Amino acid sequence: MSRLRVIPNPDLTVGPDNKQRWNQPAHRRHGFHNAHRLFRRSLMVRSRNVLMLETADQDLTATVPALADLLAHPAFSAFCCLRGGQVIMEQAAPDFSTTQPHSIQSITKLHIHLIMGQLIGQGLVLPEAEVAQYLPDIGTGYREATVQALLDMAVSNDFSEDYDDPHADCYDEEIALGWRLPAQGQDEITLKDFVAGVTGFREKEARTEAEYKSANTDVLTLVAAAVSRVPLAALIEQIADAVGYEGAFHISLSKDGYPAFSGGGCLSARDLARFGLLLAREGADLFGSPPGNAAFLRQTLTRAAPALTPPKDWLRYSNQTMTDGRVVGHAGYGGQFLMVDTVTGTSCAFLSVLENDAGYDETYMSTVARVLRQVCLAEAE
C-alpha cells in the first residue's frame, strides 16, 4: 500500500509573517468573507424566529457625503443601516452581499457585554470582585484584576495586542481561538491554558485611557462559563433568538470548547445590524419581553470609563462597548464597526477588509466610527 500524502492545513498554517494564510494580506479578503468555513472548529446558531425587514430606500450619502467615500473604498465589503423593521439603506461591494457571513472580529465582544450584564443582574458576578474569586487557577496576569477592570479594558499586564508587531501575543492567542495551527510538532493550547499563562499584572491608579487587550474578554468568557447556570452555547442561542437573525451566527471555538467572544464571530451586514437593534431595544427580545439587564446598558452609557486611544479618544470603553454616551457599539480588527444610536434606535453595520500588513489602521477606523455616528445623527433630524 502506498503511503498517503499529507500536508498541514494550508488555510491555518502560519507563514513567514507569522500569520495564517487566511489572514495574510494577499488572502485576507477571501479569509474574512469565508472565515465561518475556515476556522479550526466553530458553533453555528440559527434564530427561532426571524425579524422581518421592509425597505425604506433612502440615500444616506446625500446627507452624509463622507459615507459615499467609505462605500467606494477598496476595503469595503458591505453596509446596512436599520431602524426598527426598516432597511434605511444597504449596499455591498461587487464581490460580496449584505446577507453573506463576514468576520466581525472584536464586535463579537458585545456578546460578553450582554452576558455579563445578565450575570451581574442575577448576582452571580460582582464587578468589584477579583478574577481569582471565580477562576482560582488563573495566572498572575489576571489574578488580582477586578471584573470591572476587564470589562473596561483597564488591566495592565504582559499581554500585547500590537497588530503591527507580527510576534505580539494576540497572534499566539489565535491558536487558542481556533484560527490557526501551532508550529509543527506543537500541541494546540486551550483557552484556559493561554490566559493562565499571561503574567505581569501591574496595578494602575486613576486610569484615564483604555489599554485594549482581547485576552481580557477571554478571561471574562471563562468567568461567565464558571458561574452561569446554563452553558455558554445556550446563552448564544438566547441572544440569537432575541435578535431574530435571517441567516446564521457563527463563532469559532477553542480546543476546550469555549466560544471565541473576543473576536470569533461571523455575521452578515444585515444580521449584524439586526444585532444592533437588540442593543437599541436595551436587550428586549422580538416580543418585548424584559431584557436581562437594561439598567446595565444604561449605566454603560453614562458612567465614567477610560477613553480609547487617539484618534478614537472621543469614545469611552465601558463594559465591553465603545460609547460616547449616546451611540454605542464596537470596532473590529480588519475594518469592522457596529454603531447604534440609543436615541433613534438606528443601527449601522459596516464591514470591510484592510489589506495592509497589519490588517488595521487607526485613522481609517476612526473615520469609519465618525461617519457612522454622522449617519446616526442625521437619522435623528
Confidence of residue 166 (pLDDT cuts 50, 70, 90): confident
Within a 10 A sphere around the Cβ of 328, how many other Cβ atoms? 25
pLDDT tens figures, 351-366:
999 999 999 999 999 9
- Residue 134 above 80 pLDDT? yes
Rounded to two decimals, the pTM is 0.97
Amino acid letter at 196? A
Q: How many angstroms separate the CA atoms of 365 and 370, rounded?
A: 9
**pLDDT, position 179:** 97
pLDDT tens figures, 20-38:
999 999 999 999 999 999 9
Question: What does each C-alpha distance from 380 to 69, 83, 338 come to in angstroms?
Answer: 22, 11, 17
pLDDT tens figures, 86-119:
999 999 999 999 999 999 999 999 999 999 999 9
pLDDT tens figures, 239-296:
999 999 999 999 999 999 999 999 999 999 999 999 999 999 999 999 988 887 899 9
- Residue 381 above 80 pLDDT? no
Q: Could you tell me the domains of the chain?
A: 21-380 (3.40.710.10)
Question: What does each C-alpha distance from 352 to 6, 129, 132, 216, 360 come to in angstroms?
Answer: 34, 38, 38, 25, 11
Query: Which of 123-132, 203-212, 321-330, 333-342 is predicted with the least confidence, judged by mean pLDDT?
Result: 203-212
Question: What does each C-alpha distance from 216 to 78, 147, 180, 253 come to in angstroms?
Answer: 29, 9, 20, 17
Q: Taking residues 5-32, report their average pLDDT.
A: 94
**pLDDT, position 380:** 65
Within a 10 A sphere around the Cβ of 132, how many other Cβ atoms? 15
Confidence of residue 379 (pLDDT cuts 50, 70, 90): low
Q: How many angstroms separate the CA atoms of 79 and 110, rounded?
A: 19
**pLDDT, position 203:** 87
Q: How many angstroms separate the CA atoms of 191 and 219, rounded?
A: 9
Closest CA to 296 of 274, 318, 264, 276: 318
- Residue 206 above 80 pLDDT? no
